Amino acid sequence: MSTVASKGTALITGSSTGIGAVYADRLAKRGYDLILVARNAERLDTLAARLRADTGRSVTTLVADLNDKTALAKVEAVLREDASISVLVNNAGVGSVASVLDGDVETMDAMIGLNITALTRLTYAVAPAFVARGSGTIINIASVVGIAVEMLNGVYSASKSYVLSFGHALQRDLGDKGVRIQSVLPGATATEFWDVAGYAPQKESPITMSASDLVDAALAGLDLGERVTIPGLHEGQAWDEWEAGRRAISGKFGNARPAARYLK
Ligand SMILES: NC(=O)c1ccc[n+]([C@@H]2O[C@H](COP(=O)([O-])OP(=O)(O)OC[C@H]3O[C@@H](n4cnc5c(N)ncnc54)[C@H](OP(=O)(O)O)[C@@H]3O)[C@@H](O)[C@H]2O)c1
């Protein structure tokens, strides 16, 4: 058994593989017990057994399709009721490279369900509990395409813009109540995401980061107290400038009269 005192429990969605599985490994090594959520029970069990053996932490699995309302409600109930939960990693997500003309709207609807609706419902489930305890961390996995919105499928990019915007609002609503919010914006990362998204060669591209490097950098950002972490952005001041511009224009919208350029 581990001799390190538990820091509470981290519930990680989409932790059967890819970025979520690396979060599971790193958070267990940091002393968190884990609840691993995804659809593939066999993969979850294999990872859970390895992490129990490697770290001595308590690791439980929760098989759930987060696009299924009943299954999602069970995960929401766990977040509301398990007082040991101190971290939620909203990581499960799918993408696509299809254009509007190639894409199937049912696939897009399911993407919205997972990337937006599930993430939102899970956050709403845990936020009151974190506020009541005066502590907790919510890590939302967005994407650089939430800003660079023309790069991939439009629904995917827009879903990640939502995650980033929602993170800003969560910061406003929960940030002074002991709850830490971090939005993580990965660039291309070498995971099965690209097989699902329809462009497998991206995994071999020279600009593609390993999931291990991505998560280690994201956790370093969390340790630095960052609200938004973009592991692949070397010019960190570029984010500061972007964010300063957004905040500056936000203060200019409130006028009862239309702008002079629209007045005839
Ligand atoms: N890879 C990239 O280049 C990249 C870049 C930017 C952002 N991201 C974001 O990073 C996050 C993790 O992606 P990844 O790269 O690690 O992809 P991945 O390797 O494909 O992993 C996705 C995870 O989500 C789970 N999942 C998928 N559909 C689900 C559903 N309906 N219900 C529950 N779990 C589901 C998968 O497990 P099961 O199949 O077992 O359910 C898997 O554990 C996503 O939000 C993605 O948008 C990835």
CATH number of the domain that residue 139 is part of: 3.40.50.720
Cα separation, 215 vs 229, in Å, equals 11
| Number of domains observed in the structure of the chain | 1
Q: Is the CB of 61 under 6 A from ligand 1?
A: no
pLDDT tens by residue, 37-91 = 999 999 999 999 999 999 999 999 999 999 999 999 999 999 999 999 999 999 9
Cα separation, 219 vs 72, in Å, equals 26
Section 143-171 average pLDDT: 97
Whether 4 maps to a domain, the answer reads no
* Marked catalytic residue, from 23, 32, 124, 156: 156
Provide the angle, in degrees to the nearest 10, between the axes of the packed helices 119-133 and 69-81: 10
Q: Pocket of ligand 1, candidates 17, 23, 70, 121: which has the most ligand atoms within 8 Å of its Cβ, to mutate? A: 17
Task: List the domain range (segments joined by +) for residue 175.
Answer: 9-262
Whether 3 maps to a domain, the answer reads no
Q: Is the pLDDT of residue 1 over 80?
A: no
Name the CA dihedral angle for 88, 89, 91, 92, rounded to a multiple of 10 degrees.
Answer: -30
- Closest Cα to atom 45 of ligand 1: 93
Asked if residue 40 lies in contact with residue 16, where contact means CB atoms within 8 angstroms, the answer is yes
198: tokens are 């329809």
Cα separation, 235 vs 227, in Å, equals 17
Q: Is the CB of 38 under 6 A from ligand 1?
A: yes
What's the burial of 79, exposed, middle or buried (CB within 10 Å: 0-12/13-18/19+)? Answer: buried
- Closest Cα to atom 17 of ligand 1: 193
Whether 64 maps to a domain, the answer reads yes
For residue 147, what is the enclosing H or E element? none
3-state secondary structure of 88: strand
3-state secondary structure of 114: helix
User: How many residues can be counted in the chain?
Assistant: 264
Q: Over the chain, what is the mean pLDDT?
A: 97
- Closest Cα to atom 36 of ligand 1: 14
Question: According to the model, what pLDDT value does residue 121 have?
Answer: 99
To the query of whether residue 156 is one of the catalytic residues in this protein, the response is yes
3-state secondary structure of 65: coil
Whether 1 maps to a domain, the answer reads no
Q: Pocket of ligand 1, candidates 11, 13, 15, 19: which has the most ligand atoms within 8 Å of its Cβ, to mutate? A: 19
* DSSP-derived secondary structure for 197-239: HT-GGGGG-TTPBPHHHHHHHHHHHHHTT-SEE-TT-S-HHHH
Whether 249 maps to a domain, the answer reads yes
Measured from the Cβ of residue 263, the count of other Cβ atoms closer than 10 Å reads 7
Sorting pLDDT into bands at 50, 70 and 90, what band is 103? confident
Q: Is the pTM of this model over 0.85?
A: yes
Whether 34 maps to a domain, the answer reads yes
Whether 18 maps to a domain, the answer reads yes
CA 165 vs CA 136, 144, 162, 171, 176: distances in Å: 20, 13, 5, 10, 18
Whether 103 maps to a domain, the answer reads yes
Section 119-134 average pLDDT: 98
In ligand 1, which atom is closest to the CA atom of 196? 20
Q: Is the CB of 167 under 6 A from ligand 1?
A: no
